[in-house]
Amino acid sequence: MNYRRIFIENSIIFVTMVTQHRASLLIDKFDLLIASINEVKQYYNFEIIAYIILNDHCHFLLQVEDIKKYPKIIHSIKYNFKKNVGVATPTYHKIWQNRYWEHTIRDENDLYHHIDYIHYNPIKHGYVKKVNDYRYSSFAKFVQEGYYDEEWCNFDDKHNVINCNYE
């Protein structure tokens, strides 16, 4: 199957990476995932604008200096995580699904919608009742920078994001 990726300079990419067979391991290996991302940052210039790490998948909003390199960045994160976990295979496929889902952010409204979706994810998947109670995301950074109130995702907020599904 041929996949076509869109490469629009200066764009932001929403990425979903899922573990093989939805294995629950990412939260237990959170520090190794962060270390893997930091290793990749030594070779590629990118910023993670927002993120959420759940047991079996994660979402990132990436801003990449050279947009054509974001597939290599994702591959490298997967590969380095596999290496850091200590899986003795030449590829990352024993831990991660072969592919990933991506979406190029179209405009400011689309960006805000995806940021909300990322931070709503632990409620969606039943990890917590309040977003502020979940520590494996960029939510605290967004609260600190004044983008969200600590009590974000009340009933009205939840209504705006509940019908989104980017998995």
CB 128 within 8 A of CB 122: yes
For 68, the token pair is: 């054509």
Task: Compute the distance between CA of residue 131 and CA of residue 69 in angstroms, rounded to an integer.
Answer: 32
- Which residue, among 111, 98, 114, has the nearest Cα to 3 in the 3D structure? 98
State the catalytic residue, choosing from 70, 79, 136, 148.
136
Q: pTM for the full model?
A: 0.87
**How far from 157 is each of 115, 127, 139, 160, CA to CA, in Å?**
13, 18, 14, 5
Helix H or strand E segment including 143: helix 139-144
Summarised one tens digit per residue, pLDDT across range 15-31 is: 999 999 999 999 999 99
Summarised one tens digit per residue, pLDDT across range 100-156 is: 999 999 999 999 999 999 999 999 999 998 999 999 999 999 999 999 998 888 655
Topology classification of domain 12-161: Alpha-Beta Plaits (3.30.70)
Known catalytic membership, residue 136? yes
Domain boundaries, the chain: 12-161
Which one-letter amino acid corresponds to residue 105?
Answer: I
